[in-house]
Amino acid sequence: MTLRNRLFNAHYWVLSIVYGLSAAILALAPGRAPMTAAIRAYTRRMLWSMEHLAGIRVELKGQEKLPKGAFIIAAKHHSWGDGFVMFANVDNLSFVTGDHMERFPLVGAILRKFGAIIVDNCGGPEARKALSESAAQVAAEGRRILIYPEGNLARPGERFRYRTGVYYMSRDFDLPVVPVATNLGCFWQQTSKVKKPGVATIEFLDPIETGLERGPFLERLESVVETRTQELIALATGEPVRTSVLVPTPDEVRKATSGVEVTA
C-alpha cells in the first residue's frame, strides 16, 4: 500500500469518527439542520481528501438534468465514495439504507434523526411495504431520495439484480427517477483500502418520468445505468466497452445454499 493510501485511510477514519460523534450530538438538538450541516461538511472534506490525498478527482456531469423539487436518484454503487459525492452536491437529500446500518454504535440515532429510509435487507413484500411507508414522510417533505437499486456494492463490470423498491417509490409518490452512472470503482473499489489516482466520473442521466409499468421501468433503468457505466469504465481503463456481468448477491448465494426462495 502506498503512502498516499495510508494517509487517506488514516484521514478517512479520523474524519469519520470526529464528524460521526458531532452528528450524534447534534442529533439531540431540535430540528435536522445542524446535523445536516455537519454531514454536508463531512462529505465535502472527504471529497477534498479523495482528491488531495488519494489522488482521485471526481468529475460530476449532468447536474443540469436534475428536476426541480422532489425526485429519486437511482445510482450505480461502486464505492463508499459514491455517497460522499451525492451528499456533497445534492441539496435536501435523504437516502435508502439497509437495516444492517443500525448495528453500528450511534449510527441508528443519526439515521433516524436525518430521516433516512431504513429497510429490511432481505427484501420481499414486507420490505416493499416498509419502504413505501418510510418514504411517505420524506416525499411529503419534498426531499430528494437516493437509492442504490442493486442494494450492494458492485465491482466494475459487474451488476446485481435490480430490485423493485425504486419503482414502487416512483409510482406511489409520483416522482421522476434520475439514473446515475459511475466509474468510481476503477479508482476506489467497494470498501477497498487501496485507491488508484485518476479522474473518476459520476454522471446524472436523463430522468425517467412516471407512468411506466414495473417491467419496462426496471428494464429501462438497468439498461441506461449499466450501458453508460460500462462506457465510463472503458473511458477510465482504455479498454473496449463490454457488457456488465450479472452476479448473485451475497444474500442470494446464502438463500440458494439454504434452500430459501429469493424474493424480488
CA neighbor of 250 nearest in space, from 101, 165, 123, 129: 123
pLDDT the model gives residue 29: 84
Q: Which three cell numbers stand for residue 27?
A: 442529533
Q: How far lies 22's CA from each of 34, 102, 138, 154, 224, in Å?
A: 10, 17, 23, 30, 38
pLDDT the model gives residue 46: 96
pLDDT the model gives residue 122: 57
Please list the residues that pair with 177 across neighbouring strands.
Answer: 72, 208
| Pairwise CA distance, residues 72 & 81, whole Å | 19
Please list the residues that pair with 98 across neighbouring strands.
Answer: 119
pLDDT the model gives residue 127: 64
- pTM, whole model, 2 decimals? 0.88
pLDDT the model gives residue 252: 78
237 φ, ψ (degrees, to nearest 5): -100, -20
At 93-135, the pLDDT tens digits run 988 887 666 666 667 777 777 777 777 665 566 666 666 776 7
Helix axes 81-89, 33-52, angle to 10 degrees: 120
- Centre a 10 Å sphere on the Cβ of residue 36 and count the other Cβ atoms it contains: 19
Q: Kindly list the structural domains of the chain, giving each domain's residue range(s) and its CATH number in brackets, ordered by start.
A: 57-258 (3.40.1130.10)
pLDDT the model gives residue 36: 87
| Pairwise CA distance, residues 151 & 121, whole Å | 8
| Contact residues for 205 (Cβ-Cβ < 8 A; gap 6+) | 62, 65, 178, 179, 180, 181, 224, 225, 228
Q: Which pLDDT tens digits describe the chain residue by residue (264 residues)?
A: 799 999 999 999 999 999 988 988 888 888 888 888 999 999 999 999 999 999 999 999 999 999 998 899 999 999 999 999 999 999 989 888 876 666 666 677 777 777 777 776 655 666 666 667 767 777 778 889 999 999 899 999 999 999 998 998 899 889 999 999 999 999 999 999 999 999 999 999 999 999 999 999 999 999 999 999 999 999 999 999 999 999 998 777 777 776 655 555
pLDDT the model gives residue 32: 84
SS3 call for 92: coil
